[in-house]
Every structure is written in structure tokens, then in C-alpha cells.
């Protein structure tokens, strides 16, 4: 009886503060602007740490709203500070602003034709992960909240983050650099919220997961040393391409035979192999670059240990040498276990209870995790697929599309999360 009463009182208290803030007119007024911003940003994408025009567009908009603006944060990031009419908590809202080295090939009238240089090669540039929608949504949230300072009990910090996809080699960037430069201080942030559009979830749907939501990501580089020889006389040398193939095969046994996947998912992927210059020459060396995804830090330690043991051992078995270097890219995206359930009524109010779904952990990664290591955070997914669509393309692909009629729910969710949290 005591437990039942406590639960009832909790639900009642949640209902009291999770009330509609009567912003429908402001939401309606900003919807077309958000879509227009998104399409312009989509048509003019910029790679990580090179988001100069995007940052300029964001800063200009925030300044027009009377928001205090700081530019050049973590190289190209923009931070806006909006103080409400009442004292209270500090809420941070984050959107990532960078695009990917992908050549767009869909039929969108505002598709990107931008070209740039990535790792010394000319590439197409595309918002193939939806960061353009994240940016436009947060610009819309800033506009709505700036018109309702009387409803803000505290301060809102708008964080437009560069280089979520990773800074270029040799450069710092992303959320880690923002944290290092003090983005969560002055004033100190009490909680942070972020979202990610999803091309394979119907619009007007919100997905979330308490605890570990997205994987930790690591990047590894393997250098294989063999002995060059004529392609017609392989016995005269040591083939680093053959050794690379054996290494790749061996790494997969760590996942398939040594990792208890019933506990959490894990992935080892080799995404790039470089070796050789000519069809009839066995080269001297090869380089393999890949990623490791884990949702449990003990599993991560085991996988790293076995990779470091296996790579040089396999190379040695075939007469060569190999080294491996593993570096972390992100931590586990962990939704605060106290904060998350408190905000579920907000999701249910703005999207409808039937459209709020608890999802399983995924092996994608997000450097939003670095913010969550410092302050309580909640990261959720927003549907971006046209209902009934039979052909939805994954993120990071040339055919990726988002139905921008679903963006307004993102504006509502981020705005209402902010105001509800401030009223807790």
C-alpha cells in the first residue's frame, strides 16, 4: 500500500509540472522557417571543423533574437545564452552541425552539389546523417524560447557543436573539445538534452532508452609489414595483403567466439584498407583502419586486449610484422537514470503516448556522451521517415532522406523538455 501511494504521488507530481505551456502559435509560426533553414543548410554542407558558413548562419540568427552569442568555440562551434525572466536552473540544448564526405545521389530539389577535400581526395559533401535537421530544430527552439522569456525559470544554453563525425586527423574537435574549453560552465549546466533524427523511424515518433543507449566507439589502425616481391614469385617475399586478410578474419572470431553477445552487442569493422601500387607487385606494407563498438566497458577491455595480442601474432605466423593502435572516439551514450523517467511525461504530451517508444541499445555512437559524463543528460531519437514509406535509406549513405514535416515535433520536444525541467 505504501509503495502504491508513493507511485501515485510521483505520477501526480509529474503531471502537475508536465503541463502544456501554450506555445502552439509560436510553434506554428516557426515551422516553415525551420524547414527553410534545414533545406538551406542541407544544400550547403560543410565538413567537420570547417563549418564556417553554417556557424555564421547560426550566430546571425541567435543575435537577431537578442541571445548572447559566443563563436569560435571548439574551432567552429557556436554557443548562445538566453536568460529567462526568473531565476532557476541552467539547461543546455545541443545540436551537431557537420556533414559527411558523401556524394548525394537522391532526387531532392535541394540536394547538395558541394565538393571538398577529405584525406587528400576530392569528395562530395552531404548531410547524410541529418545534422542539418538538428541545427534547424535548435534554431527554431531558440526562436520560440526567446519570445517566451517570461516562462523561462533560469538560463538556456544553446550548443551548436562542430565535428561530431570526428575531427580531421591531427586536429582536436567535437564535444570533447567543447567540454575541455568549458562549455558546460559559466554558468554551470544542470542538465543537457539532445536529439538525433532517424530515417527509418516514422515521423511524429520519439524513441528513447534509459541507461546505455548508444555504443562507445574506438578507432584502430593496423600497420602490416611484409617483404616486396614480383607478383609472379610470391615465395620470394611476404605478402602483407594476405596477412591483412587473415587478420580481418581473425578479428571477427573475437566477436563470434569470445564475446558474450547475449549481454551486449559488440562490433569490429575494418572500413579501409590501403596497400600496393600495381597488379603484379606484392607490396611491402598494408594499412587497415576500422572501428570497435561496445556497450559494456569490461567487454571493451577484453576486445582491445585480444586485438592487441592477435594482430602481431597472426602477422608473425605468416612471416610478417604488424602493430595496432587503438584510440577512443566516444564513450557510451548513457541517459541519466534519474533524469530520463522524469522527462517521459513530456515526450508523451508532445508526441502522444502511443508514439513514444523505448528502443534497444544500438551500436551507433555519439560524442554527446562526453557531455553526459559531466552532467545529467538525455538523448533521444526523432522519427524522420514518411509513414508507409517502403524505401527508407540508412544514415551515412548517398540516398539518405528525411521527411522534414516531422521537424516540428523536434522543436516542441526540446522546448517543452527545457521548460518542464525548469519547473521540476
325 is catalytic: no
Active site residue 98: yes
- Nearby residues of 145 by Cβ (< 8 Å), 6 or more positions away: 82, 152, 156, 415, 418
- 3-state SS class at 246: helix
Which position among 96, 98, 132, 403 bears the catalytic label? 98
3-class secondary structure, 326 = strand
CA distances from 113 to 6, 105, 197 (A): 58, 9, 22
Closest among 82, 80, 90, 114 to 100, alpha carbons compared:
114
Q: What is the DSSP letter of 196?
A: E
252 neighbors 197 (Cβ within 8 angstroms): no
CA distance 382 to 95: 13
Please say whether the beta carbons of 403 and 218 come within 8 A. no
Q: 204 with 409: CB under 8 angstroms?
A: yes
- DSSP of 54-81, one letter per residue? HHHHHHHHHHHTT-EEEEEETTTEEEEE
Q: Crossing angle of helices 131-146/24-43, nearest 10°?
A: 150
Q: How many CB atoms lie within 10 A of CB 349?
A: 19
Under 8 Å CB-to-CB from 398, ≥6 apart: which residues? 102, 103, 104, 105, 106, 126, 128
Handedness of CA 243, 245, 250, 255 (dihedral sign): positive
310 touches 254 (CB < 8 A): yes
Give, in degrees to the nearest 5, the angle at Cα 34 between 97 and 86. 85
Distance CA(277)–CA(292), nearest Å, equals 28
Of residues 299, 291, 312, the one with CA closest to residue 258: 299
CA atoms of 73 and 181, how far apart (whole Å)? 8
Distance CA 71, CA 69 (A): 7
Beta strands in 102-226 (DSSP E): 115-118, 121-124, 153-161, 191-202, 206-208, 211-225
Residues labelled as active-site residues: 98, 164
Amino acid at each position: 500500500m505504501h509503495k502504491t501511494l508513493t507511485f501515485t504521488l510521483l505520477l501526480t507530481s509529474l503531471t502537475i509540472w508536465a503541463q502544456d505551456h501554450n506555445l502552439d502559435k509560436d510553434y506554428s509560426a516557426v515551422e516553415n522557417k525551420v524547414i527553410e533553414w534545414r533545406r538551406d543548410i542541407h544544400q550547403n554542407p560543410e565538413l567537420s571543423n570547417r563549418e564556417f558558413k553554417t556557424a555564421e548562419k547560426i550566430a546571425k540568427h541567435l543575435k537577431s533574437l537578442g541571445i548572447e552569442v559566443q563563436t569560435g568555440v571548439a574551432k567552429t562551434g557556436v554557443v548562445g545564452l538566453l536568460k529567462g525572466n526568473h531565476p532557476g536552473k541552467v539547461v543546455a540544448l545541443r545540436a551537431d552541425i557537420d556533414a559527411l564526405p558523401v556524394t548525394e545521389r537522391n532526387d531532392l530539389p535541394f540536394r547538395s552539389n558541394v565538393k571538398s577535400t577529405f584525406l587528400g581526395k576530392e569528395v562530395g559533401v552531404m548531410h547524410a546523417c541529418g545534422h542539418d535537421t538538428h541545427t534547424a530544430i535548435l534554431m527554431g527552439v531558440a526562436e520560440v524560447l526567446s519570445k517566451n522569456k517570461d516562462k523561462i525559470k533560469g538560463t538556456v544554453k544553446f550548443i551548436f557543436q562542430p565535428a561530431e563525425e570526428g575531427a580531421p586527423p591531427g586536429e582536436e574537435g567535437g564535444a570533447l573539445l567543447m567540454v575541455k574549453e568549458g562549455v558546460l560552465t559559466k554558468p554551470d549546466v544542470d542538465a543537457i538534452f539532445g536529439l538525433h533524427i532517424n530515417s527509418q523511424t516514422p515521423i511524429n515518433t520519439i524513441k528513447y532508452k534509459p541507461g546505455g543507449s548508444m555504443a562507445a566507439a574506438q578507432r584502430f589502425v593496423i600497420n602490416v609489414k611484409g617483404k616486396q616481391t614480383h607478383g609472379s614469385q610470391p615465395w620470394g617475399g611476404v605478402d602483407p595483403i594476405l596477412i591483412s586478410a587473415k587478420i580481418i578474419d581473425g578479428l571477427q572470431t573475437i566477436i563470434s567466439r569470445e564475446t558474450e553477445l547475449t549481454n551486449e552487442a559488440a562490433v569490429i569493422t575494418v572500413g579501409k584498407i590501403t596497400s600496393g601500387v600495381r597488379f603484379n607487385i606484392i607490396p611491402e606494407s598494408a594499412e587497415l583502419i576500422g572501428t570497435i563498438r561496445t556497450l559494456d566497458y569490461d567487454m571493451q577491455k577484453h576486445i582491445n586486449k585480444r586485438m592487441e595480442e592477435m594482430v602481431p601474432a597472426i602477422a608473425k605466423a605468416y612471416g610478417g610484422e604488424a602493430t595496432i593502435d587503438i584510440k577512443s572516439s566516444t564513450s557510451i551514450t548513457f541517459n541519466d537514470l534519474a533524469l530520463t523517467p522524469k522527462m517521459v511525461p513530456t515526450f508523451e504530451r508532445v508526441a502522444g503516448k502511443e508514439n513514444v517508444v523505448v528502443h534497444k541499445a544500438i551500436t551507433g555512437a555519439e560524442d554527446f556522451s562526453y557531455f553526459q559524463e559531466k552532467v545529467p543528460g538525455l538523448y533521444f531519437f526523432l522519427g524522420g521517415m514518411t509513414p508507409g514509406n517502403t524505401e527508407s535509406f540508412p544514415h551515412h549513405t548517398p540516398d539518405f532522406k528525411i521527411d522534414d514535416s516531422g521537424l516540428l515535433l523536434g522543436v516542441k520536444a526540446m522546448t517543452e523538455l527545457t521548460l518542464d525541467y525548469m519547473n521540476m
